[in-house]
Amino acid sequence: MKKLVLLHAAILLTGCGEKKATPETLITPSQPEPLVDKALLNFDAIPALAATLEETIEEGPEGHFIVKGTDTLYSGVFYKVDSISGEEVYIVANIKDGQFEGPSIMYRSNGSKAGEVELQNGTPVEGSEQYWNSKGQKVDTQEEALDSQ
Alpha-carbon span 82 to 100, nearest angstrom = 17
Which comes out higher in pLDDT, residue 131 or 12?
131
Query: Which pLDDT belongs to residue 145?
Result: 92
pLDDT at residue 58 is higher than 80: yes
H-state helical runs in 22-129: 46-56
Task: For 96-146, write each residue's pLDDT tens digit.
Answer: 999 999 999 999 999 999 999 999 999 999 999 999 999 999 999 999 998
Q: Phi-psi category of 121—alpha, beta or left, where left has phi over 0 and alpha has psi -120 to 50?
A: left
The answer to whether residues 113 and 89 touch, using CB atoms and an 8 Å cutoff, is no
Tell if the pTM clears 0.85, that is, is over it. no
| The pLDDT value given to residue 22 | 41
Band of residue 11 on the pLDDT scale cut at 50, 70, 90:
very low
Q: Of 12-16, 80-84, 98-102, 131-135, where does mean pLDDT reach its minimum?
A: 12-16
User: For the chain, what are the domain ranges?
Assistant: 33-146
Cα torsion at 133, 78, 102, 129 (round to 10°)?
A: 20
> Which pLDDT does position 39 carry in this prediction?
52
The Cα–Cα gap between 84 and 105 comes to: 14
Range from 9-13, 35-39, 63-67 that averages highest in pLDDT: 63-67
